[in-house]
A and B are shown apart, each in its own frame.
Chain A
């Protein structure tokens, strides 16, 4: 059994707005093992980013607040950690990179300056040592002519290069986990592939676990070991990348995969899941996806499904698998479905 380093347990992060309480993260449980790449997939507004910011305790507060749940990082519950402790953890043990490499670096300072600052935050080093380390990091992330880049300003670099710098900065203190929030969304496709390769390489060489947040199943297929599919603030399906892409269980994951363009098939129109993601609301009864689900039946609108365990450590939040479970446990009780 691999060592679990990050485990979310029934995490609820709500936003308290003028329009009422919004459960952006509504009972998310997931785990990341040492050295593993976990993809978190879902449409815009499903709570992926809020989940990652919750882990870092960087939810803008107010209006956001972690209402309940645990964030266990190596046996420490970050949800209860002090501000001071979080500052030690951020960037040092859990790092994060963001979607927009164009704006993630301070335009007024040189790359070297910013890298050094990140390094010296968590390490007692002289300026010289930090500079050397910054140079090493730039080399590691594959920046050409790193020595010159150190004295350049962000606007002199391309988006892909800046994302490399961000990764260098995030990796500079050898974190246990790198949370990457849509790291390739703003980049063009060839650069995307390079950045993913780089992340994969770092994952293998440094054994850093990566939590990759994306809406792009192509990215997931590229580097993730395991996938967590989120919908409307909840985890709806979880399993290995291979199995989920090959044989999605939850109707939502099925819809997601069906709506991917396929290289060998010429279809006039791509499939899309009907409807839009509902705004998370308090006190919704029934499955969040039921409105859009082609397989929904009465029970879906009345009860909340739980995450039913399936074979191979998979889980799916759908009543279809409630029966499967019952069959497995030889405790069939079919009358509910009628």
Chain B
């Protein structure tokens, strides 16, 4: 069967999906080909696809924000305060007469950026610390794990508030705070993964071949830890956006007139009865983005977990 497939795919232009692994002319073109299976699995998961569409929608919204609307996001127009959704203002205007659709679109930029950088920061430092703790063990593991425990002992939003309170309220600081509170989540995940991988026979076999620790870590342990890290990143993306919104709502994140969704909610709070659209738009946006990331995350978890394969 393999031979057949190989002949079929002798023309590289015709190769598609899993058959490519039977090509042998340049044997390491796709060192991550097992991912293709996962991708296929993911495409079959309708919820994950829905999540993906939601996120792509918000990404496009953010990218093309200036093209979508004729208004700048901070254009105060007191003549049109709290206008209900209409053909002129699709999502209405807020108490300063700013177009809410415009602010949602620019806010998508902020939220996605915050999510991206906070998750990246947490991922880099969390993975680094987790790998060190898991692979080297002993006192260094004790030290790092206890720091994680302490960080996790605080309610995360409270810790973020404390961090922002110390370093001062701004979007960047909110981002740093969110990254910090997410470090132990990645750290613990990677640590436990490394500890279980360390006992794998192929790691022992790699050591028996005379491989150095660093090489084993980078070439064998990290690549084998990527799947759970990706899943956690996606899920954390949603949480990070939610946390950013919460900080913005509390006035500890983005500062006016930045159209941060959480801050928009806080500003609109007083008009809940008079102009509910001012709350609904940012609220629904936050909900949709977080939901989108969670759907992708769950889909990825199923797709990347070999035990879930049928």
Binding site for B on A (CB under 8 A): 56, 58, 62, 86-92, 95-100, 103-110, 112-113, 117-118, 121-122, 131, 145, 147-148, 150-153, 156, 166, 169-170
Contact = CB atoms under 8 A, between A and B. Distances in A.
B274 to A, nearest CB: 58
Contact of B210 (A92, A105, A151): A92
B276 to A, nearest CB: 51
Contact of B205 (A98, A122, A148): A98
B213 to A, nearest CB: 9
B33 interface: yes
Nearest to A134: B27
Given A92-B210, A98-B205, A106 B220 contact: yes
B310 interface: no
Interface of B: 2-3, 6, 21-24, 27-28, 31-34, 138, 200-202, 204-212, 219-220, 223-224
A156 B202 CA distance: 16
Contact of B208 (A91, A110, A122): A91
- The interface residues of chain B, by DSSP majority, are classed as helix
B73 to A, nearest CB: 45
Given A58-B204, A109-B31, A90 B24 contact: no
B224 A106 contact: yes
A113 B28 contact: yes
B202 A106 contact: yes
A87 B210 CA distance: 4
Given A148-B22, A153-B21, A104 B207 contact: no
A107 B209 contact: no
Contacts of B24: 147-148, 150-151
Nearest to A57: B207
B200 A87 contact: no
B21 A56 contact: no
B27 A113 contact: yes
Nearest to B205: A104
Contacts of B202: 103-107
A57 to B, nearest CB: 10
A50 to B, nearest CB: 13
B27 A150 contact: yes
Contacts of B224: 106-108
Nearest to A131: B27
B204 A153 contact: no
B210 A103 contact: no
A98 B204 contact: yes
Contacts of B6: 148
A150 B23 CA distance: 10
Nearest to B226: A108
A98 B210 contact: no
Q: Max chain A CB contacts within 10 Å: which of B31, B207, B223? A: B207
